[in-house]
A and B are shown apart, each in its own frame.
Chain A
Amino acid sequence: MTGAELTIDLLAKHGVKDVFGYPGGAIMPIYDALYGAPVKHYLTRHEQGAGFAAVGFARSTGKLGVCFATSGPGATNLITALADAMMDSVPLLAITGQVPTAAIGSDAFQEIDVLGMSLSCTKHSYMVERPEDLAEILQEAIHLAQTGRPGPVLVDIPKDIQMAQVPFHPWLAAEDTLPKLDPNQVAIANQILSEAQRPVAYVGGGVQAADAQNELMQFLEKTHMPAVTTLKALGSVLPDYEYDLGMLGMHGGKAANLAVQECDVLVCIGARFDDRVTGNLSKFAAKAKVIHLDIDAAEIGKRKPVKASLVADLKTSLPQLDCFVTPDEWLLHIESMMKEHAWRYDYPGEKVFAPYLLNQLSQKMPKTGVVCCDVGQHQMWVAQHMKFSHPSNHLSSGGAGTMGFGLPAAIGAQVARPDDFVITVSGDGSIMMNIQELATIRRNNLPVKILILDNQRLGMVRQWQQLFFEGRYSETNLSDNPDFVQLAAVFGIPGQTVTRADEVDTAIDALVNSQGPYILHVCIDDKENVWPLVPPGAANDEMMTETVK
């Protein structure tokens, strides 16, 4: 068996049925082995598209996402997707071709030190140096990507090793090296909880990574603890939970941020005190004792000191927290804040109000549907105004904030979940970053829906220029955008443009009920901003809510 054949064979043995990629010189033996193999390959139109499709596949299923690229520029085009997967802890395997072993270090055609480039954007990476190492490396890579805190792993395989005869040795993971709960820390955490008067659960992406939504909901339902959620964790707390405060942080809901600022115990469940969550860190939850549950010991005390740390898989650690019931006085206060600061969708005028549109979409689309966002104002409106019943139904580039994420991620999600409704919600800026992937949708007849909220601006940057740069609108005007419906039509994708508020409901019906791919292009007010906003350097209770136009 050649190295290339072994690579495909091992993927198939590990249950990988779908991969995304783009061929080229140094990975041709692997593409040759793919020919007729039981692993289906989806050709994207750019390696970054392949990387994000694999991320979308992984995030919408919890399974390993796999992407291929050739050496040199093929591999460098994957780097952004690797970095994105690193920031958001996504189980991803990237396999890249490399120039033959003898040519490495000679500045050969399409030779780039991909191993060197991968160091800061992967959980681990390899360059295979000997044919006899290939089987072990691939098996270890597949294991590492999905174990502990998940992340991207890259395997760079020189062309001669792909073509060489290679032995197969089964590889077994070393004894379970995952952290074990410290009973003393569990006791301290339970002692703190027993004295809590105003507790809040701060829920992060670890819940999806650990597949611990059931354990989370059991904990919340028993304790009635008010819950706030990070961008990445949206959907972890079920939408009908009585004390679901939604997203916290820079564009979080007012009730969510105020609850955290006022709490006396903050139970951090698989989150990492990201700066977009905390605002001014020294003023974040300043009165709270922190209990931190995370599988990654390096997150404990990284940004915020803790009183107790439960370093383990959340499936194990969450049930260790004793049941206690949140005091009524605090819950009454939470309820009153939720009422006072509820989102409003009444909006004067004829223009389309994006929050209303997204809220309507959320109500009309199937509950099992997947929403893949791009990055910017529309992303925050989705987080604020749409409801999700599982984190695998909301894919948003959180840590990296990568524009161009949405369309290829939706392709990956649709491949992974062919019977589910999959939509990308994008902006007129973001959609152009990986627009070439419309060809992948057409090539594979994927029924991906596309919603573009078009304000003819790089809206979030424009908003900051308005608020913090004295209205100097440097390079954010996109009024020369192409006609997006006409553009999609060239790729065989039908759709329509709407410009008025009274067209929204009918247009959403057309989008939701369309059979194949569909584009809904919505022109919105170019002066609309995302509110509330915690300005730079401010505490989360110092939100700007004023509607500045």
Chain B
Amino acid sequence: MKHTLTIALKNQSVAVERFLRVARHRGFDLTKMNLEMAEDAFRVTMTVVSDKPIHLLTSQLNKLVDVKHVTLESQLQQQAI
């Protein structure tokens, strides 16, 4: 199953390493990623593939101190686009 997530991170380069580590460790393969530096935050859009339910990733990402919020684009929306 493919999912696209938007993650707002505090403006720290280590934050990127943290969420990538979590995605790998929890069993989600990264297929696409875009990172932009906004005024006070990194904004990351990434697409991951896994046979695991996506809440297993979003709930872990939400625990990271560096993560401000995680938004999930549903698979359905993705297909409509």
Contacts and interface: CB of A to CB of B under 8 A. Distances in A.
B35 interface: no
Contacts of B59: 297-298, 300, 302
A216 B31 CA distance: 46
Interface stretch (B1-9, B13-21, B39-47, B73-81): B13-21
B33 to A, nearest CB: 18
Interface string A103-123: 000000000000110011001
- Indicate the member of A115, A144, A297, A300 with the most B CB atoms within 10 Å: A297
A25 interface: no
A301 B18 contact: no
Given A296-B63, A298-B63, A116 B17 contact: yes
B21 A298 contact: no
A302 B62 contact: no
A127 B15 CA distance: 12
Interface in B37-71: 53, 55-56, 59-60, 62-66
Contacts of A119: 14, 17-18, 21
B55 A301 contact: yes
B56 A302 contact: yes
A120 B25 CA distance: 9
B65 A124 contact: yes
A169 to B, nearest CB: 18
B17 A298 contact: no
A115 B14 contact: yes
Contacts of B66: 124
Q: Which bracket fits the contact residues of B?
A: 10 to 19
A144 B66 CA distance: 12
B65 A298 contact: no
A340 B5 CA distance: 54
Nearest to B64: A124
B25 A297 contact: no
Nearest to A125: B14
A113 to B, nearest CB: 10
Nearest to A127: B14
Contacts of A296: 63
A297 B56 CA distance: 10
Contact of B62 (A120, A127, A297, A301): A297
Contacts of B25: 120
A298 B26 CA distance: 12
B65 A120 contact: no
Contacts of A301: 53, 55
Interface in A168-190: none
A419 to B, nearest CB: 37
A298 B14 contact: no
Nearest to A148: B63
A119 B66 CA distance: 12
Contacts of A115: 14
A85 to B, nearest CB: 16
Interface in A86-136: 115-116, 119-120, 123-124, 127
A119 B19 CA distance: 10
A116 B59 CA distance: 22
Nearest to A299: B59
Nearest to A144: B65
Interface string A124-160: 1001000000000000000010000000000000000
A96 to B, nearest CB: 15
A380 to B, nearest CB: 28
Contacts of B64: 124
Nearest to B17: A119
Nearest to B21: A119
Contacts of B60: 298
B55 to A, nearest CB: 7
A127 B55 CA distance: 30
Contacts of B56: 302
A296 B18 CA distance: 18
B68 to A, nearest CB: 12
B4 to A, nearest CB: 20
Contacts of B14: 115, 119, 127
Contacts of A144: 65
Nearest to B14: A115
A17 B66 CA distance: 30
Nearest to B53: A301
A302 B26 CA distance: 11
A298 B59 CA distance: 5
A517 to B, nearest CB: 41
Given A115-B14, A302-B56, A120 B63 contact: no
Nearest to A300: B59
Contacts of A302: 56, 59
Contacts of A127: 14
A296 B14 CA distance: 23
B37 to A, nearest CB: 17
Nearest to B57: A298
B62 A298 contact: yes
A298 B54 CA distance: 12
Given A124-B64, A298-B59, A301-B53, 14 more contacts: A115-B14, A119-B14, A120-B25, A123-B65, A127-B14, A144-B65, A296-B63, A297-B59, A297-B62, A297-B63, A300-B59, A301-B55, A302-B56, A302-B59
Q: Which 6 A-B pairs have the closest CB atoms?
A: A298-B59, A124-B65, A298-B60, A119-B21, A297-B59, A298-B63
7 contacts: A115-B14, A116-B17, A297-B62, A298-B59, A298-B60, A301-B53, A302-B56
